[in-house]
Structure 1
Amino acid sequence: MKHDFSGDDGATEERIRNIHKDVWIECPQAGRIINSIIALSQVPKRTTAPCMLVYGDGGSGKTAIVNQFKKMNRGLGSPFAFLSLAENPNNLNYKQLILESLGVPMRLAEKRGMLSQEVAGFIQSREIRVLVIDEFHDLLLVPRNEQLKNLSLQKGLSGDPFNLSVIGFGTRAAKNALSSDVQLNRRYHTVELKPWGINHDFRNFLATLEKKVSLKNDSLLYQEDMVRLIHYHSKGLMDNVLRIVKSAAIYAVITGEERITKELIEKAVLDPWGYKSMK
């Protein structure tokens, strides 16, 4: 008989929804990056603002850090503006995307020029110090003539009269493309967001994640055999770890096991969304 996720089983449905929710778990590598960006944002205005590129494999947790900054922004005095190059429903060009993310009225840009003193004054009046760009590699992995325009714009943003610190989050391809411009590369401090190793930090992360999924019985994900199994299947990538553990937790709820076992981890890897068709 198939499980019914409605009616009397509403509590189970609610638990599954809660497991699916995004979670933020403090970990040393992400913490160091966050603290570095906060420190960078507090540098007094100077001729060339400091910039940073955080790069790593897809699924390494870059967007999770960006989302955490969005939550922290108001508490920090709202010095950050955010732009995701993966989101462009209106097919705007790069300059227009930047101005939109900074809240600059397009009429001002059209009247005075895209990067005019008036536009800079508008940005300064909002006290924006940092532009955070997710999927940063998208602005560099374009035809050479367009890439040169984008690189030139990046220089303009971090120099007078804008003095914006640009924080890019992207893949290794972004680092390679940035290296092609010596002057721009010199402005960017680069930080690699590495996959998890089998170490104390990874065990602590799994122990905290186990608490977040709220099963009734202990799964002991921090034990060596579980750590190695999860690391093997996830390759140490943050997104993979979350997907495997969350899916295994849902299977644990559906089966009544109420703890994550090796068998449920294997099942989550093989068929992460198969819990709705369980007999």
Structure 2
Amino acid sequence: MGMSEKYAHLRPSTRPFADEDAASRIRRIRTDRWIGYARAEAVLAALEDLLSFPKRLRMPNLLLVGPTNNGKTMIVEKFRRTHLAAGGEPAEGPALIPVLKVQMPSGPDEGRFFGAILDALGMPFGARDRIAAKQDAAVRLMRATKVQLLVIDELHNLLSGTALQQRRLLNVLRWLGNELQIPLVGVGTAEALRAIRSDEQLANRFEPWPLPLWTDDKEYRRLLTTLEAVLPLRKPSHLTDPAMAARILSAAEGVLGEVIAIVIRAAVKAVETGVETISPRMIEGAGFIRPSERRRVAI
């Protein structure tokens, strides 16, 4: 029988890998991959819109809000990689960075925030440099590298500062957007939304895009179908069977990153044991601690 009937449960591009040995298939299973789903594609489209928005005094912003490990960073990373300077390196002068991604430092103040920007631009700075100097350097470099959109990940870290630091940082965000006339994309938990809403002018500019926990619906079943089709197991696993789907979702507590981690761990086991299909028992026995229990242990 031909390859196509043999591995009908796999995507055509994945089928050739199913004949590889166990070690290389396990490596493939564990490699990070982009798993597209409707909500993620919608956010990517919204980010594309922002990127091509004509410069004006008040640029629109976007706030990607959701629980930890629910796919936020994965989406902005995908977007950033899509826009790595497409035109190749310019002959001289700085490289172009259309999408700049920084992390809001914890215990944040303006100096640390501009430090994080300089860091992301590959420009180390002295810890003792004055804030004004860092601010100048950050803005100058962002102009030179033609940053068109700034992503601020872990925006909820803003709340770990004092009330005064929070006010000042929110002012800095507003100022930066106006000064460079670029859209800002905030990424964080529901706390981030609270931080932005405490500043009336910013609240009007940031459009919230929630990435809620997953429930057992069509969209979730489609996600499982996609996962099953890209993992090179030789036999189908029927992840969308109601009992199986429910078991995965409950172990993952509705968190996207956990759904993917559980399925990947079980797939590795399926290859190691030679069973070549994910059984409900493997989901339970994937050496998996639920996110809530893990948080309890951490505390």
TM-score range (shorter-chain normalised) is 0.7 to 0.9
Paired amino acid for 2:30: H
8 Å CA contact 2:61, 2:183 repeated in 1: yes
Aligned length: 257
Q: What 5-or-longer segments of structure 1 have no aligned partner?
A: 1-9, 273-279
Contact 2:106 2:157 in 1 (8 A): no
1:241-275: per-residue Cα shift (whole Å, max 9, x none)? 01110111111111111100111111115479xxx
Write the letter of the residue equivalent to 1:28.
A
Structure 1 counterpart of 2:162, one-letter code: P
- Measured against aligned partners, the alpha-carbon deviations of 1:137-175 in whole angstroms (never above 9, x if no partner) come to 11233221221221111011111x311211111000110
Give 1:36-185 correspondences, 5 Å limit: 36-74=46-84, 78-85=97-104, 93-102=112-121, 113-116=133-136, 120=139, 122-159=141-178, 161-185=179-203
Q: Which runs of 5+ in 2 are unaligned?
A: 1-19, 88-96, 291-299
Q: Which piece of structure 1 moves more, 12-21 or 146-155?
A: 12-21
Q: Distance in 2 between matches of 1:208 and 1:87?
A: 36
Letter in 2 for 1:21: T
**2:215 is equivalent to residue 197 of structure 1:** yes
Distance 1:17 1:175 in 2: 38
Deviation of residue 100 (structure 1)?
Answer: 3.1
Q: State how far apart, in whole Å, the 2-side matches of 1:177 and 1:193 are.
A: 18
Check whether the contact 2:105–2:112 (CA below 8 A) recurs between aligned residues: no
Deviates more, 1:195-204 or 1:262-271: 262-271
Alpha-carbon contact 1:94-1:139 (below 8 Å) kept = no
Secondary structure (helix, strand or coil) at the match of 1:268 reads coil
What one-letter code is carried by the residue in structure 1 that aligns with 2:156? H
Q: Match for residue 296 of structure 2? A: none
- TM-score with structure 2 length normalisation? 0.78
Deviation at 1:12, TM superposition (A): 2.6
Q: Would the alpha carbon gap of residues 60 and 112 (structure 1) be closer, same or farther in structure 2, given more than 3 Å must change?
A: closer
Query: Per-residue deviation at 1:40?
Result: 0.9
Q: Pairwise CA RMSD of aligned residues?
A: 2.7
Structure 1 stretch displaced more, 52-61 or 123-132 = 123-132
After TM superposition, give the deviation of residue 130 of structure 1 in Å: 0.4
Task: Tell me the SS of whatever aligns to 2:285.
Answer: helix
For 1:141 and 1:66, locate their aligned partners in 2 and report how far apart those are by CA, in whole Å.
23
* Corresponding position of 2:251: 233
Q: Which amino acid aligns with 1:95?
A: F
Off by >3 Å, runs of 4+ in structure 1? 75-78, 85-88, 102-107, 109-116, 118-122, 269-272
Normalization by structure 1: what TM-score?
Answer: 0.83
